[in-house]
Amino acid sequence: MRLDWLEDILAVLDTGSFARAAEARNLTQSAFTRRIRTIEDGIGTPLFDRARKPVQLLPNVRAREDEMRRMAADLRTLRDGLRQSGTGRVVSLACQHAITTTISPRLVQVLARDRSVRVRSGNRDECLSQLVTGEVDIAVIYDSPHGPPRPDSRAFAEMSIGTEPLIAVCAPDLVNLPDMMSWPIIAYPGEVFLGQVLERAVLSRLPAGIDITRKAETALTLAACQYALDGIGIAWLPLSLADTALKQGRLIRASLDTPDLMLDVRMIRLADPIRPAALDSWNILRDALHAPD
């Protein structure tokens, strides 16, 4: 049994609902619900009575509360002891997919001068989840006022390390977009960060008379970029991801009556206590990027 699984189960027990447990675990409710499904799949049995509102632990699971609490406490003690006593100069980063390709190389270059760097790639919720559960030391994510809210918590320290626009691009063959009454687009799923940003800031505000045709949908910005290169439709991409193809003329900015959206690039860690090697890595990046803490 994994510590993060136990902590998720106990969070539901302590708060009485998935929604409040998600807030306590500093996750969105959709991300927390997916984690609970993963736990049940991993164990091989349901843990919650979903016929009751709010959702509750099944009686046989609740009966083992004391055992779960003891095990969680023992695992935390072991984990924290190993962390604080560790002398290895290793740091782990969790980056959103596009950031892994475009921004993380600079971060790794800075850190790899005197330590080993492990980089994990995932969607925004996955990156934050890995940070909360201690699987990584630092998460690097996009943020936007048009995106889903993140729980405010004194458990985190964070800083902005830059901004970049989210731009609409397409293959040169789609130059007649202004004359089209239905735009072919490459969409992001509604449950992921860029999907929510795109829906709230662009698709819900299209000019009158314009419809969209969702030609493809993917959670991966790299895939969306390739689909745009293949002429499938318009994709909204971080500028750093599309920049090379734009300079080569393989992509052009789509001529749409919609504004570019600015994304804030944020670096996030857990507040104290934190591994000395992780805090040292944070400070090195802060100084190298001239970012305020």
Annotated domain spans of the chain: 3-84, 88-293
**3-84 maps to CATH 3.40.1410.10:** no
3-state secondary structure of 191: coil
CA of 269: how far to CAs of 14, 19, 78, 137, 157, in Å? Answer: 25, 23, 21, 6, 5
Between CA 256 and CA 206 the distance in angstroms is 9
What's the longest Cα–Cα distance across the chain? 66
Region 88-293: CATH code: 3.40.190.290
DSSP-based three-state secondary structure for 28 = coil
pLDDT at residue 86 in the model: 53
Written as one letter, the residue type at 24 is A
Residue 198 CB coordination number (10 Å): 23
pLDDT for position 217:
96
Pairing of strands 138-143, 182-187: unpaired
Helix, strand, or coil here: 139?
strand
What's residue 13's pLDDT? 86
CB 9 within 8 A of CB 57: yes
User: Tens of pLDDT along 213-223?
Assistant: 999 999 999 99
Mean pLDDT computed over 268-273: 83
Can you name the residues that pair with 267 across neighbouring β-strands? 140, 159
DSSP letter (8 states) at residue 177: G
Give the ranges where the chain is alpha helix by DSSP (H): 3-15, 18-24, 29-43, 59-62, 65-85, 97-102, 104-111, 124-132, 193-201, 221-229, 239-248, 276-289
The arithmetic mean of pLDDT across residues 33-37, rounded, is 87
Predicted TM-score (pTM) of this structure:
0.72
Q: What is the mean pLDDT of residues 106-117?
A: 92
